[in-house]
Amino acid sequence: MASFVFAYLVEIAEKGKTMLQFWFQLLLQWRYAGIVFLMAVESTVIPIPSEIIIPPAAYWASMGEMNFWWVVVAGMVGSYLGSSLSYLFARKVGRPFLEKYGKYFFLTPEKLAFAEKWTIRYGTAGIFMARMLPVARHLVSLPAGFLKMNFVRFSLATLLGSGLWCWVLAWFGKKVIGDQPGLLQDPAMLVHVLKDKLIYFVGAVIIFGALYFFVQYQRKKIQSTAVLHE
């Protein structure tokens, strides 16, 4: 499949077509396998927005081309595969390698430092939330790997977070593109409209996360105080 994908990409580039047309053609021709592949790539540091993968597939599902829930499952599986590969790669090569060579695959030292601080501070819960947040979802697998986070906990948080994010994207894609099918012809506008719609969900995730970590902090503080008074 991979050899076909790259050969097809070259063919499209030679014909002067856009990358969006490539993604859409891949989704239409390979269906669930295309979703898995593209979401796996999207879950690494390669900047493919998930807003142009799951939403169109969900819209086509509403038109009878695919099944809505299998679109969500395929997206979740792809996200997990890409995230796991990033995790295992980072665990193998370590932080110094990523810091030195990350610039060659879209990973700046600032991004790496941000992802590392996020993972150290928020742990497994942070991995879950990061799957639904811009920037963070593309990066957190790397520090999780070189910090040697427990792989079972990492996997569970990734599957749950990715599954929820894919469902949200699919729901919005079905609704938004269903109301404005012309968005499929304008990738920039499609991403812009979806991000505007999703901003409330992302905001809710941030607020929920802040409350969760505040409660955890207060609980640890109370426990520490209790220990001191024993």
The reported pLDDT for the residue numbered 13 is 40
List the alpha helices (DSSP H) in the chain.
2-14, 19-42, 54-62, 68-101, 109-130, 136-139, 141-146, 151-179, 187-228
Nearest Cα neighbor of 22 from 6, 39, 36 is: 6
Q: Confidence band (pLDDT; 50, 70, 90) for 150?
A: very high
pLDDT at 221 over 60: no
Each residue's pLDDT tens digit, 86-115:
999 999 998 888 888 887 777 888 888 888
Q: How far apart are CA 59 and CA 67, in angstroms?
A: 10
Number of neighbouring beta carbons within 10 Å of residue 87? 24
Each residue's pLDDT tens digit, 40-52:
988 887 767 777 7
The reported pLDDT for the residue numbered 82 is 93
Per-domain boundaries in the chain: 2-179+187-228
The reported pLDDT for the residue numbered 29 is 76
Q: How far apart are CA 212 and CA 66, in angstroms?
A: 37
